[in-house]
Amino acid sequence: MQETFTAQTQNAAPLSEAEAGTSLWRDAWHRLKKNKMAVASAVILAALSLASVLAPWIAPYSYEEQNLALRAVPPQSGHWLGTDALGRDQLTRLLYGGRVSLMVGIVATGVALLIGVTYGATSGFFGGKVDMAMMRIVDIIYALPFTIFVILLMVFFGRDIRLLFVAIGAVEWLTMARIVRGQVQSLKKQEFIEAARALGLRRRRIIFLHMIPNVLGPIIVYATLTVPAVMLLEAFLSFLGLGVQPPMSSWGLMIKDGADRMEECPWLLIAPGVTLAVTLFCLNFLGDGLRDALDVRASKD
């Protein structure tokens, strides 16, 4: 380990010549950087996200700007990905759709993360009857057909896009809770947790400062794998007409429109379909790469 010491001097540190050790996180980062697929995926994702975020500024048209005279035209100069039946520019709609899809992916995963980690950590930490009760609740929610659950929520609370985020997040946290609970349970028996208790640390501090950083690896991996699942779910809901409402676009919505007319205008299906597939692929590769990089057994020595 000695040679991996970085001889940086930290000005912020109280001791100007203190060596900042390499954390396990930094080790993981080094390993991730060596994984070409993961890096390529991360680059593609970053590019896609950036393009989507900047859509209002870089998109050639407005997402609701119609050109009925044009109708559906195949890719050509001026409309690189063609236009849909209402003469709306496909590239523009793809970029705007990406905003929605990526945002759903991130926000819903965030919601799932927040609920799942807190719930799972609490359940695992307290154990016994509390754990029993909390996990049975998870089992019950698990048993609900979750698509129908989301549909019910949407019907009940209206088709607000923010609700879509919450609704998806609210079903995706279950697996997260189980993962975190399992990890926390095994962590609880580790001596450093006992040591922390012996030092008089409060439970909340132990959970959030000592336990969660140690389960962050699996959490990050699962989160990167949840994002595509959530995006797929959003696409699916939009496909069913329950998600994002026109004229706003989302990839799922575009795939639906494309699928309706895929014989006459295949470009309407291909562009969003390929984009979604590539995004999902990249997220999965990145998740895989992260899992390898964060693997505890690999990182110990």
Partner 1 sequence: MPLLTVNNLRAYFHTRNGVVRAVDDVSFEIEKGDMLGIVGESGSGKSVTCYSLMGLVPQPPGRIESGSAVFDGKTDLLKCSTNDLNQIRGKHMAMVFQDPMTSLNPYMRIEDQLIEPLLIHGVCGRAEAVKRGLHALEEVGVPDAAKRIRSYPHEFSGGMRQRVMIAMALITKPELLIADEPTTAVDVTVQAQILELIKKMQNELGMAVIWVTHDLGVVAGFCRRVLVMYAGRILESAPTEDLFYRTKHPYTRALQRSIPSLQPKGAELYTIAGAPPDLSKRIEGCPFAPRCEFAQERCGQPPIELKTVEPGHATACVRMQSSEISI
**CB of residue 120 vs partner 1: minimum separation in angstroms?**
18
Site for partner 1 in 119-148 (CB under 8 A): 128
Q: Which is nearer to partner 1, 49 or 185 (CB)?
A: 185
**CB of residue 3 vs partner 1: minimum separation in angstroms?**
11
Site for partner 1 in 236-265 (CB under 8 A): none
Site for partner 1 in 78-117 (CB under 8 A): none
Q: How far apart are CA 234 and CA 230, in angstroms?
A: 6
Contact in structure between 262 and 245 (CB atoms under 8 Å): no
Site for partner 1 in 184-203 (CB under 8 A): 190-192, 194-203
Residue 210 touches partner 1, criterion: CB under 8 A: yes
Count of residues in contact with partner 1, rule CB under 8 A: 36
HEC readout, the chain = CHHHCCCCECCCCCCCCCECCCCHHHHHHHHHHHCHHHHHHHHHHHHHHHHHHCHHHHCCCCCCCCCCCCCCCCCECCECCCECCCCCEHHHHHHHHHHHHHHHHHHHHHHHHHHHHHHHHHHHHHCHHHHHHHHHHHHHHHHCCHHHHHHHHHHHHCCCHHHHHHHHHHHHHHHHHHHHHHHHHHHHCCHHHHHHHHCCCCHHHHHHHHHHHHHHHHHHHHHHHHHHHHHHHHHHHHHCCCCCCCCCCCHHHHHHHHHHCCCCCCHHHHHHHHHHHHHHHHHHHHHHHHHHHHCHHHHHC
**CB of residue 292 vs partner 1: minimum separation in angstroms?**
18
How many CA atoms are closer than 13 Å to the CA of 11, on its beta-carbon side? 0
**CB of residue 220 vs partner 1: minimum separation in angstroms?**
13
Q: Which is nearer to partner 1, 14 or 158 (CB)?
A: 14
Q: Which is nearer to partner 1, 10 or 76 (CB)?
A: 10
Q: Which is nearer to partner 1, 263 or 301 (CB)?
A: 301
Site for partner 1 in 215-234 (CB under 8 A): 216
**CB of residue 32 vs partner 1: minimum separation in angstroms?**
17
Residue 3 touches partner 1, criterion: CB under 8 A: no
Site for partner 1 in 14-53 (CB under 8 A): 14-15, 17-25
Residue 204 touches partner 1, criterion: CB under 8 A: no
**CB of residue 128 vs partner 1: minimum separation in angstroms?**
6
Q: Which residues bind partner 1 (CB under 8 A)?
A: 1, 5, 10, 13-15, 17-25, 128, 190-192, 194-203, 205, 209-210, 213-214, 216, 300
